[in-house]
């Protein structure tokens, strides 16, 4: 159990800087997810915390100790790798006990701890198998067992679920969450999957191009994205973003169509300002099929080009200002392409981003 602090951390590969002076404080027992598209520096950041990459500048501390110069083995952390990295020439038992054996623990202590970890993860029957004889999910569990058996200060997960099929991924996601509740240790978890980030994290760190874009709880990041990148990255299907300009009390789009500026954001914009109007598909719904039907609404008639039935809801594809826009229909009925629907756009949760910087106008 420890807090982890990154202070102005920079990573260069030769002249190429891939992480640009990031700052982050991770609390005791907190589950923090670093999320972002590939190449955003999230794995590099995690590997710097683990000590597998040198830090070019800045400091990283685990507990109260600055660990910049410490090799991985002295950082008292454990890590689960994307490809599991189990030792193929050892049985599950030896894989689990390897770290303790290296630490020269007594055999009975090792046996005891390995058994405990195996019980937590349900590995009891697999102890004498080698990794080659395990399924993907079982290997994943062994990798996690190897991490918990040493009782480290922090767990680092590097995209641990990306090699699993969709069903198993959901199952293992739950197991990781449960494991965290059970062992109560600081966790830093890297993923490119925003669903994983939303479901697992106490706090999400959204990264892009070596910078931290936003840090916040899943609800904060989802409901109050600081810029268009976070807005479009978090949430599935992604937020609709339409460029336009402020024209008095309205937002005017390129094709001349307009809707009212959301009341709560009126004093954040000035007349003539180029903006990007953003709203989640959940907020554009056929009349009578929405979840946010009170409050400020913008009614409109839209032609549906495609409908994807998901069961409890249907995703509707339509066009606004010449751009493909997604809406949702809750409690759905059959929709045929070409059908024109009366729809409501709820403006209470809509977002406005500055057209030039992409930053949310809420922050000005």
Partner 1 sequence: MNSALKKRIGNVLSWVMTFLLMLVICVPGLWVVLTAFRPNSEVLAKPAVWIPQNFNLNNFAKIFGFGAEQVAIPVPAYFTNSLIIALTSTAIALLIGMSGGYAFARYRFRFKNGLFLGLMLSRTVPGIALSLPVFMIWSRIGLIDAKLGLIIVYVALNVPFTVWLIDGFFRQIPKEMSEAAQVDGCTRWEAFWKIEFPLAKSGIASAGIFAFLTSWNEYALASQLTRSTDSKTLPVGLMDFTAQFTIDWAGMSAMAVIIIIPALVLTFLVQKHLIAGLTFGGVKG
Cβ atoms within 10 A of the Cβ of 14, count? 5
Q: Please pick, from the candidates 2, 35, 134, 212, the single residue that binds partner 1 as defined by CB under 8 A.
A: 134
Whether the CB-CB separation of 100 and 150 falls below 8 Å is answered with yes
DSSP string of 317-352? EEEETTEEEEEEEES-----TT-EEEEEEE-TT-EE
Tokens matching residue 276:
């990007």
Q: How far is the CB of 34 from partner 1 (least distance, A)?
A: 18
Query: Does 109 sit near partner 1 (CB under 8 A)?
Result: no
User: Which residues neighbour 70 within 8 Å (Cβ) at sequence distance 6 or greater?
Assistant: 51
Q: Is 238 exposed, middle or buried (0-12, 13-18, 19+ CB in 10 A)?
A: middle
Q: Is the dihedral of CA 146, 152, 158, 161 positive or negative?
A: positive
Q: How far is the CB of 72 from partner 1 (least distance, A)?
A: 4
State CA 344 to chain mean position distance: 30
Dist CA 238 CA 134 (whole Å) = 36
Secondary structure of residue 194 in the 3-state scheme: helix
Query: Does 85 sit near partner 1 (CB under 8 A)?
Result: yes
Secondary structure of residue 59 in the 3-state scheme: strand
Return the number of the residue (89 or 270) whose C-beta is nearest partner 1.
89
Q: Please pick, from the candidates 11, 42, 93, 139, the single residue that binds partner 1 as defined by CB under 8 A.
A: 139
Cβ atoms within 10 A of the Cβ of 350, count? 24
Query: Does 146 sit near partner 1 (CB under 8 A)?
Result: yes
Interacting span for partner 1 (CB under 8 A) from 45-53, 206-214, 306-314, 340-348: 45-53
Q: Please pick, from the candidates 56, 68, 151, 163, the single residue that binds partner 1 as defined by CB under 8 A.
A: 163
Tokens matching residue 29:
């027992």
Return the number of the residue (1 or 102) whose C-beta is nearest partner 1.
102
Query: Does 88 sit near partner 1 (CB under 8 A)?
Result: yes
Interacting span for partner 1 (CB under 8 A) from 98-106, 264-272, 278-286, 332-340: 98-106
| Size of the chain, expressed as the number of residues it contains | 364
Dist CA 360 CA 364 (whole Å) = 8
Return the number of the residue (41 or 99) whose C-beta is nearest partner 1.
99
- The contact mask relative to partner 1 for 55-84 (x = CB under 8 A, - = no) is ----------------xxx---xxx-xxxx
Query: Does 253 sit near partner 1 (CB under 8 A)?
Result: no
Report the chain's terminal Cα–Cα distance, integer Å.
38
Q: Please pick, from the candidates 50, 154, 207, 269, the single residue that binds partner 1 as defined by CB under 8 A.
A: 50
Q: How far is the CB of 151 from partner 1 (least distance, A)?
A: 12
Residues 283-342 touching partner 1, rule: CB under 8 A, are none
Return the number of the residue (104 or 333) whose C-beta is nearest partner 1.
104
* Beta-bridge mates of residue 189: 33, 157
Q: Please pick, from the candidates 125, 133, 165, 293, the single residue that binds partner 1 as defined by CB under 8 A.
A: 133
Q: Which residues bind partner 1 (CB under 8 A)?
A: 50-52, 71-73, 77-79, 81-89, 98-99, 102-103, 130-134, 136, 139, 146, 150, 163
């Amino acid at each position: 159990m420890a807090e982890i602090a990154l202070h102005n951390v920079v990573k260069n590969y030769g002249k190429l800087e891939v992480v640009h002076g990031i700052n982050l404080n991770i609390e005791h027992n907190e589950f923090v997810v670093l999320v972002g598209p590939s190449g955003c520096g999230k794995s590099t950041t995690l590997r710097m915390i683990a000590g597998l990459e040198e830090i070019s500048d800045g400091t990283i501390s685990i507990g109260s100790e600055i660990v910049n110069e410490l090799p991985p083995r002295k950082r008292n952390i454990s890590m689960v790798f994307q490809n599991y990295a189990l030792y193929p020439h050892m049985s599950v038992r030896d894989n689990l006990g390897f770290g303790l054996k290296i630490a020269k623990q007594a055999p009975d202590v090792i046996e005891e701890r390995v058994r405990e970890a195996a019980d937590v993860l349900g590995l009891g029957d697999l102890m004498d198998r080698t990794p080659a004889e395990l399924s993907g999910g079982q290997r994943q569990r062994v990798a996690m067992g190897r991490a918990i058996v040493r009782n480290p200060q922090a767990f680092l997960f590097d995209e641990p679920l990306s090699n699993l099929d969709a069903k198993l991924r959901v199952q293992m996601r739950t197991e990781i969450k449960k494991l965290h509740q059970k062992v109560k240790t600081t966790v830093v978890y890297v993923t490119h999957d925003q669903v994983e980030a939303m479901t697992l994290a106490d706090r999400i760190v959204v990264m892009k191009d070596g910078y931290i874009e936003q840090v916040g709880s899943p609800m904060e990041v989802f409901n109050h994205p600081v810029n268009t990148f976070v807005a479009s990255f978090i949430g599935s299907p992604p937020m609709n973003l339409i460029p336009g300009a402020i024209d008095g009390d309205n937002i005017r789009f390129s094709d001349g169509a307009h809707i009212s500026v959301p009341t709560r954001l009126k004093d954040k914009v000035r007349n003539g300002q180029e903006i990007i109007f953003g709203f989640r598909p959940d907020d554009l719904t056929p009349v009578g099929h929405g979840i946010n039907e009170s409050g400020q609404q913008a009614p409109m008639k839209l032609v549906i080009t495609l409908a994807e039935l998901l069961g409890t809801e249907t995703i509707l594809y339509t066009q606004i200002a010449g751009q493909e826009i997604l809406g949702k229909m809750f409690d759905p009925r059959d929709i045929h392409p070409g059908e024109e629907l009366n729809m409501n756009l709820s403006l209470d949760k809509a977002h406005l981003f500055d057209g030039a910087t992409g930053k949310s106008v809420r922050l000005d």
